[in-house]
């Protein structure tokens, strides 16, 4: 008896595992008259790694590296070195990393100033 294997190519939309979409932040709380945002740190720290490891480079660029909301949330919730680590991981994983390197360089050059303004 022989085993037959079927290769299935799955697209981003077809991978619906019935998991609800995770927000970047869970909302703002007012504590002692000061507005504080609770960020989804798990999503912010794990999604870039998983997109790189699964070779979903287009999704990584669209949803993470070149997404202003993502970059703002990541920088506000974590640190500049954490944000730069995502770019470094991406530049080592991509063969055509020109735009990613340019964004990485810009982030390094202006990162400290941007972090102070948040």
Question: What domain count does the chain have?
Answer: 1
> Smallest Cα–Cα separation from 48: which of 105, 100, 10?
100
pLDDT exceeding 70 applies to what percent of the chain? 64
Query: Does some domain include residue 21?
Result: no
Other CB atoms within 10 A of residue 17 CB: 4
What's the chain's average pLDDT? 75
Query: Does some domain include residue 1?
Result: no
- Element housing 30 (H / E): strand 25-31
- Separation between Cα atoms, residue 108 and residue 118, nearest integer Å: 16
> What are the pLDDT digits (tens) for 7-33?
545 455 555 566 677 878 887 777 777
Query: Does some domain include residue 97?
Result: yes
Entry pTM: 0.65
Query: Does some domain include residue 6?
Result: no
The whole-number pLDDT of residue 7 equals 53
Q: Domain span at residue 81? A: 29-117
Query: Does some domain include residue 45?
Result: yes
Whether the per-residue pLDDT at 3 is higher than 70: the answer is: no
Query: Does some domain include residue 92?
Result: yes
Min mean pLDDT across 7-21, 40-54, 72-86, 88-102 is at: 7-21
């Amino acid at each position: 008896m022989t085993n037959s294997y079927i290769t299935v190519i799955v697209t981003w939309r077809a991978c619906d595992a019935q998991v609800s979409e995770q927000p970047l932040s869970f909302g703002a709380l007012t504590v002692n008259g000061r507005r504080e945002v609770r960020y989804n740190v798990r999503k912010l720290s794990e999604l870039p790694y998983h997109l790189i490891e699964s070779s979903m480079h287009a999704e990584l660029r669209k949803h993470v590296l070149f997404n202003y909301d993502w970059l703002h949330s990541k920088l506000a919730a974590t640190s500049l070195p954490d944000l730069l680590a995502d770019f470094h991981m991406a530049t080592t994983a991509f063969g055509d990393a020109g735009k990613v390197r340019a964004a990485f360089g810009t982030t390094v050059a202006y990162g400290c100033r941007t972090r102070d303004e948040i």
